Amino acid sequence: MRELPQGPTPPRNGGAVDIDLHLSRRAILTGAGALALLSAAGCSTSGDGGMPVLQLDNTVTGSVPPMRPAISVDKNITGADVMYAALTDNGFNVPEVPYLKVKPEFRRQIVVDTTGEAPGTIVVHLKERMLYLVQPGGDAIRYGVGIGKDGFRWSGRANIQYGREWPTWTPPPEMIQRKPELVKWQGGQPGGLTNPLGARALYIYQDGKDTGYRIHGSPEWWSIGQAMSSGCVRLINQDIIDLYSRVSKKNPVVVM
């Protein structure tokens, strides 16, 4: 009987031995390379099953800035359907506001403070038609406002001197001259649902003197975001009630 060759020389019928040897060598090299890569990537093998275990480093390095705390949670800033629902206040039935007709950005909400002012400061941004009440911790409560028409606006730094609930409104003489029908209120219009000052008013003083400007409510919710008042800053009645509850009546005011 003729002996088979004793070397790597393949038999004549297909070279199967050489292919097997070639593939085996490749598999070994590939496997070794994969293990090397896993090792270099911070992985190690488990002691019992031989499966790779990922070693994660959860350390936050100094190059990663800390995340800002989440926006505050406030029980009075919820869904618009709750914030602008009808309510009874001091005997007055304040109607609900059809909030879907109010642009979302003008609805009461908590935002990141960008004013740079101290907590407690009221900042009225005339161009944005926004009022910000700065909060501790980097937040602000934002309300949409209506502002004065051209020629009726005031800007500067002042303070809230005092506030009134359902205030009396007395039109100034120059307004009565422009609108003679207001003469009936020259002695003051009592507070109520049709009163132009709405449910609350905050009176702005500068250097101890009345500026004549107010931050107040308004039954005309559709005027929010508009420039149509005689210079005062107006809010939705539900919003001025909320703002009024948060101020000390001596808060600094910045109108810009």
Tell me if the pTM is above 0.75: no
Query: What pLDDT is recorded for position 33?
Result: 46
Query: What pLDDT is recorded for position 56?
Result: 47
Radius of gyration for the alpha carbons in the chain, expressed in angstroms and rounded: 36
Query: What pLDDT is recorded for position 104?
Result: 97
Query: What pLDDT is recorded for position 153?
Result: 76
Residue 43 is among the residues annotated as catalytic for this protein:
no
Element housing 7 (H / E): none
Query: What pLDDT is recorded for position 20?
Result: 45
Using CA atoms, how far residue 218 sits from 121, 136, 236, in Å, is 22, 28, 6
Query: What pLDDT is recorded for position 71?
Result: 56
* Residue of 22, 43, 125, 216 marked active site: 216
Residue 232 is among the residues annotated as catalytic for this protein:
yes
Query: What pLDDT is recorded for position 70?
Result: 53
Give the Cα separation of 100 and 80 in Å (integer).
9
Q: Which of 204, 201, 212 is nearest to 255 (CA)?
A: 204
Query: What pLDDT is recorded for position 113?
Result: 97
Helix (H, G, I), strand (E, B) or coil at 80: helix
Which parts of the chain sit beneath pLDDT 70?
1-72, 150-151
Q: Which of 72, 78, 80, 120 is nearest to 96 (CA)?
A: 80
